[in-house]
Structure 1
Amino acid sequence: MDVSDELLGTFMPIVVYWLYSGLYSILGGLHNYRLHSKKEEDEKNLVSKADVVKGVVLQQAVQAIVATILFAVTGNDGEVAINQKSFLVLARQFIIAMVVLDTWQYFMHRYMHQNKFLYRHIHSQHHRIVVPYAFGALYNHPLEGLILDTIGGALSFLASGMSPRASIFFFSFATIKTVDDHCGLWLPGNLFHIFFKNNSAYHDIHHQLYGNKYNFSQPFFVTWDRILGTYMPYELQLRADGGLEARPTKDCKDY
């Protein structure tokens, strides 16, 4: 039985989310590569993992509904022949989608920190996870999930002009990147750490009290943080227990 591109575009990122975060949950036992100890994770986080799973499932259900509607409205462009031209078109679409998603999420994310009402009643839910872990990546207030992730994804899809088939790959990639940024690990040879400055250590800084007003960029680049002065550089230090820790560098101010 053939499965439509629209159906795959709707549910593949969800499957990828749980598979990839499940892998990181297993790797979480590698103590020396953790950015926080397991003890810190258990003591500092303010929400149970059962509630996190429920929150993520709710957000993914909303995303699936919106994706279904979006695909129905925009239609299917059909199959695209795989050749050099189509790869160039896909590359352009991916770059546009990444820029649009990053821009939307930076300004919405930053505003949710600056607006005390929105932070207290909406965004603070995500920050109940003080020590990030992989399957908590999409744990948000339902309204935040709709605004940041679902609407942001829809805008990037529409602005780039990608087909449902292309969206399967883009949103699966964006999902993997988002999970990776929240995994709480710094594994050697991780390609995301090589090619992206926005990574697990960078985002871990944001989840700490001293970094709450910095490192808003997600999920790909750090461009807007650098342009608008909210970039907090860091360095990895060895903890007394043998693990790693991301700490702001000495030239950071006002934290």
Structure 2
Amino acid sequence: MVFWEEYASDEAMGTFAPIVVYWLYAGLYELLPPLDGYRLHTRKEEKVKNSVPLASVIKGVLLQQFFQATVAHGLFLFTSMTNASGITVQPSIPVQIVQFIIAMLVMDTWQYFVHRYMHQNKFLYRHIHSQHHKLVVPYAVGALYNHPLEGLLLDTVGGAISFLVSGMTARTAVYFFCFAVIKTVDDHCGLWLPGNIFHTLFQNNTAYHDIHHQLQGLKYNYSQPFFPIWDKLLGTHMPFNLVKRPEGGFEAKPIKNWSQN
């Protein structure tokens, strides 16, 4: 039994919990003090370089989440209709862990190739993906700020495929998609905080993705949200060093003399 069982179905939680978690986790970052000593960009850079106001970012994220919830609801409805017995048996913890890993790898694969193609295709970049890159200096609330078509193709369809291929239940999907949302927000938070477990466990982290948002890394570090596997295999991996700025904070700088795989 889980804590929400008396109040909502697994399908309802799978639809809406990731949205709630997004705003709670992103909101937590917004409520933090300036923390200039841990920022990857100065507040001045964020103000000058970003070309879209916060209100527009919030509207864009809410629009994407509307489509996300619609697709998720339809997906859970479809899988429940195809369950002939009408009874869902929750698998063991080891099986769920394997399903998690499969879903992570599937999501990474889908997002890498779609993301990379959106950069390589000039029409798609100019009219679709460039909206996300209007946030040259990423911040938490803007993690899912995309063109609606990109949000549908990259995140929503990618999530649906991960769910179907892994074979996870709606209940497992609640945990997986909430985890994926937290990881995505963290990758865009713009802060290199001490003790951040994501920076310890994942090479694909806040600084890694920050490189991609900068001019020198625009055609590198496409991988998201979990592992840099495809970047390393296909020669689009740009390693970096974190360098302390004299005025405080850090800067992610590409390593000199690095070469493509």
Q: With the length of structure 1 as denominator, give the TM-score of the two structures.
A: 0.96
The residue type equivalent to 1:215 in the other structure is N
**C-alpha offsets along residues 42-90 of structure 1, whole Å, 9 cap, x if unaligned?**
1100100100000000000000000000000001753527xxxx01110
Shift in alpha-carbon separation, 1:147–1:58, aligned structure 2, 3 A: same
Distance 1:245 1:28 in 2: 19
Q: Which residue of 2 aligns with 1:55?
A: 60
The 1:28–1:145 alpha-carbon spacing in structure 2 relative to 1, beyond 3 Å, is: farther
Amino acid at match of 1:194: T
Partner of 2:95: 89
Name the aligned partner's letter for residue 5 of structure 1: D
| Secondary structure, aligned partner of 1:25 | helix
Would the aligned equivalents of 1:28 and 1:34 in 2 still touch at CA under 8 Å?
no
- Partner letter of residue 251 of structure 2? E
Name the residue aligned to 1:68.
73
Shift of 1:26: 2.1
Match status 1:31 vs 2:55: no
Given candidates 226, 236, 249, the residue that maps to 1:230 is 236
Residue 151 of structure 1 pairs with residue 157 of structure 2:
yes
CA deviations on 1:75-107 (whole Å, 9 max, x unpaired) are: 1753527xxxx0111011001100000000000
Q: Choose the corresponding residue for 1:8, options 10, 13, 16.
A: 13
Q: Following superposition of structure 1 onto structure 2, how do residues 163-202 of structure 1 map, counting pairs within 5 Å?
A: 163-202=169-208
CA RMSD of aligned residues (A): 1.3
What corresponds to 1:140 in structure 2?
A: 146
Deviations 1:164-206 (A, max 9, x none): 0000000000000000000000000110000000000000000
**In structure 1, what is the Cα distance between the partners aligned to 2:124 and 2:187?**
23
Aligned to 2:49, which of 37, 44, 62? 44
Q: What amino acid maps onto 1:113 in structure 2?
A: H
Report the identity percentage.
66
Find the counterpart in structure 2 of residue 121 from structure 1. Answer: 127
- The 1:222–1:28 alpha-carbon spacing in structure 2 relative to 1, beyond 3 Å, is farther
Number of aligned positions between the proteins: 250
Counterparts of 2:53 and 2:89, CA distance in 1: 44
- Deviation of 1:222 after TM superposition, in Å, equals 0.2
CA 1:31/1:151 → structure 2, altered by over 3 Å: closer, same or farther?
same
Q: Which runs of 5+ in 2 are unaligned?
A: 1-5, 81-85
- In structure 2, the partner of 1:249 is 255
Distance 2:145 2:34 in 1: 22
Alignment partner, residue 210 of structure 2: 204
- SS of residue in 2 equivalent to 1:237: strand
Structure 1 residue 213: Cα displacement: 0.5
Task: State the Cα deviation string for residues 107-146 of structure 1 (Å, max 9, x = none).
Answer: 0000000000000000000000000000100000000000
Paired residue secondary structure (2:88): coil
Q: Which amino acid aligns with 1:12?
A: A
TM-score, scaled relative to structure 2: 0.93
1:106 counterpart = 2:112 = yes
- Contact 1:59–1:145 (CA<8 Å) still a contact in 2? yes
Letter of the structure 1 residue corresponding to residue 252 of structure 2: A
C-alpha deviations, 1:13-39, integer Å up to 9, x for none? 000000000111123611100000111
Partner residue in 1 for 2:88:
78
Structure 2 counterpart of 1:63, which letter? Q
State the alpha-carbon separation in 2 of the partners of residues 158 and 242 from structure 1. Answer: 45
SS at match of 1:74: helix
Judge conservation of contact 1:28–1:185 (CA < 8 Å) in 2.
no
